[in-house]
Every structure is written in C-alpha cells, then in structure tokens.
Amino acid sequence: MDRRRFIVGSALAGSAASGLAAPALAQSRGRVSWRCASGFPASLETVHGAALVLAEAVGAATDGRFEITVLDEDAAVAAGDGALDAVQSGSVEMLHTAPHYFAGRDPAFAFGSGLPFGLNQRLTDAWLHEGGGLDLMNTFFAGHNVVGLPAGNTGAQMGGWFNKEINSLDDLAGVRFRIGGFGSRIISEIGVVPHALEPGNIVAALEAQEIDAAEFAGPADDIALGLHRAARYLYYPGWWEGGIALMAMINRDSWGALTPEYQAILRNAAALANMRTMARYDILNPAAMQELETVGTIVRPYSNDIMDACFAASEQVYRDISDENETFATMLDSYMAYRRTGYAWLRRADYAYDTFLMILERGGRL
C-alpha cells in the first residue's frame, strides 16, 4: 500500500468512525487555504514529512476543500524565534516544529517537546493526551496566541558526534557543542560551551573546526545531514531528548475560524502524523545505525559519571527556574509526577520484556 493511499484511507476511516461521510462533509463546508511553515529542512524527510502527512490527511478528509501548503524551511521563516512570530501574527496559519526551540523566550515552551531526563515517546504521548499535559500547554500557548496539537515524535535521540573520545566528565570541559533546545542550558552547567546552529550549517562548522561536536537527532537524520562524514565518534543516549514531541502550532484566530468539523479533522490528522512519524523513525533508524557501523563510525555510551552529573545539573536548573516562573513550576509538578509513576510501571512491564530480548539480541539469539 503506497503512502498516499494509506493516508487517504486512514483519514476517511476516521471520518466514518465519527458517523460522518467524508464526501458529504466536504461538500457542506467552504474552502480553507493555509500555509504551514516548517522548522526543518525538506532534506530531513521524516521530521519535515510529518507536516506533509498532516496536510495530506486533512485534504483527503475534506475532498481538498481544506488545503494546507507546507513550506520548505528556507521558503518561509527561520526556524528560530521568527517562526513563532510568524504564526503569532498570522502571516502563516500554522508552524510545525519542536516547541522547545522557543525555550529562550520562556522555559515553559520546553514542555511542548519534553525536558532533559524527561519522558520517553510513549510516556510523552500519555502525559500530553491523557495526563493533562496538553491542556496545560494550551493554557500557556494561549498567552502567545497559538493552539498546539501534537504531530510527531522523534523517540530517543543520539547524544552527539565528536572527533575525540569522551571517556569521562573531564573530557567535556570546554567542548564547543552544537546542541538545540533546552539541553543547551543544562549542558553548560557541566562546562560545555553550547552553540546554536541551523541543521544545514552543522557539517561546515565541524569541518571548519568552529565547533568540536554536534548533535541533531537519530542515525537516519544525522546521515541525511552528513554528520558521519565530519566526525568519527557517536555517543548515546541524547539524555536531553528522550522522546521529543513535535507540534502543529496554530494561530488562535485561524483555529477559531474553522468549523468544529474542520477542527476535528485537523486533530485527527495531527494524531495520524504523530503515529506515522515515530513509526517511520523506528523503521529507518535501525538500518541507519547498521550503516554507520559499517562505514566505521565508533558508537559508544556516555559514561555513568557524565550521565549522573548531567542529571544532577538538570534537577538544579529546574528548581532554579521554578523559583522564578510559576507557569514552569506548575507544569513541572505535573510532568515529574507522571515521570515517577510512568517509569515505575515501565520498569515492571516494557523494560523487563525489552531487556530480556535485548540480551538475546546481543548474544546473537534473535
């Protein structure tokens, strides 16, 4: 089954499940045309493609009467604060991105993606959709004139590319590290010097020795950017991005102008993009990791002293921010309460099951 037929079938099935015939619905509503900016270059086909999945599902469910045009990153606005300005002002109706990119404006934006040492992909979805997280986010987003819908997740990311071995915490001192999102604030606490660079500029900066190390996402996206050609060592895990949610951030006036039916269709399309993005990464990343190892990339885990130091730094940063940001503190209480209970459950369920199978895989028995 090809991609478009799957999207169309899923969207129409969602309409049928609600008791509404999709063609009749489309005929009864007017035409809507939106522009969607993307925080990701089109070369990153999975993360950029999540917005395309959403747009195609909306078009299919409305017989083309609700059209969303996804703009390439360089054809719209920069992936930084300018993207948020654009959707707030309504110059574009929607932005697909990781909200933690805007944590410099307010740390509470980070909860729209996930915190360092926070929830994995599964628990992130649970907190947002069933644990009250999305309600908290949209209460916060209202003050920024946007509405948020989860529309993708990267899963746990890798921990960065280096041209030297990182065996202990001391080896990170003074390292100039390209890192995005909220993790830059944490990693600076252990002596790393964070640098903000757009994805397309990372390889050139590594080759020119303007930075010493860089992270972006997982193996598939990193290969697409060419990071494996600019650095030899790949470390894991990306503790600052254990299950990063992507969101459709929508101008509130544009959202309010939609009929309830179109709002429901957009929610369903975002949910489809959310599911398809993680599924796509789980297909691409295992093969990409094998490719990296074949071409000589040295893949290693961070040492325990690095992980422990970074965890302690994150906890202190969260306390410091909570002391001066009531919204952040409220979200943190909810998020961390679920982190405790969620991982207590996974330890007895998925972790035990997965660990057994991973031991078999390492021993060559799978």
CB burial of residue 67 (10 Å; 0-12, 13-18, 19+): middle
Instruction: For CA atoms 245, 251, 254, 260, give the dihedral sign.
Output: positive
Tell me which of 284, 318, 337 is where a domain ends: 284
Same structural domain, 273 and 330:
no
Same structural domain, 178 and 141:
no
Same structural domain, 209 and 166:
yes
* Sequential pLDDT tens for the chain (366 residues): 344 443 434 443 444 444 444 444 444 468 999 999 999 989 899 999 999 999 999 999 999 999 999 997 554 444 456 889 999 999 999 999 999 999 999 999 999 999 999 999 999 999 999 999 999 999 999 999 999 999 999 999 999 999 999 999 999 999 999 998 889 999 999 999 999 998 889 999 999 999 999 999 999 999 999 999 999 999 999 999 999 999 999 999 999 999 999 999 999 999 999 999 999 999 999 999 999 999 999 999 999 999 999 999 999 999 999 999 999 999 999 999 999 999 999 999 999 999 999 999 999 999
Helical H segments across the chain, by residue range: 3-17, 22-27, 45-61, 81-89, 121-130, 133-142, 183-187, 202-207, 219-225, 252-257, 260-294, 304-324, 326-348, 350-362
Same structural domain, 51 and 193:
no
Same structural domain, 258 and 304:
no
Sheet with 176-178: list strands edge to edge.
Answer: 193-195, 176-178, 213-214, 160-162, 233-236, 298-301
Helical H segments across 241-325, by residue range: 252-257, 260-294, 304-324
Residue range(s) defining the domain that contains residue 76: 3-154+242-284
CATH of the domain at 16: 3.40.190.170
Same structural domain, 349 and 335:
yes
List, in sequence order, every residue forming a beta bridge with 301; answer none if it has no partner: 236
In order of 19, 22, 286, the CA distances from 9 in angstroms are 15, 11, 28
Same structural domain, 235 and 263:
no
Tell me which of 284, 310, 339 is where a domain ends: 284
CB burial of residue 85 (10 Å; 0-12, 13-18, 19+): middle
What the block records as the tokens of 223 is: 């290969």
The whole-model pTM stands at 0.89
What the block records as the tokens of 281 is: 């990464």
d(CA 319, CA 328) in angstroms, rounded, equals: 10
In the chain, the number of structural domains is 2
CATH of the domain at 303: 3.40.190.10
What the block records as the tokens of 359 is: 């031991």
Q: Are residues 69 and 33 in contact, defined by beta-carbon separation less than 8 angstroms?
A: yes
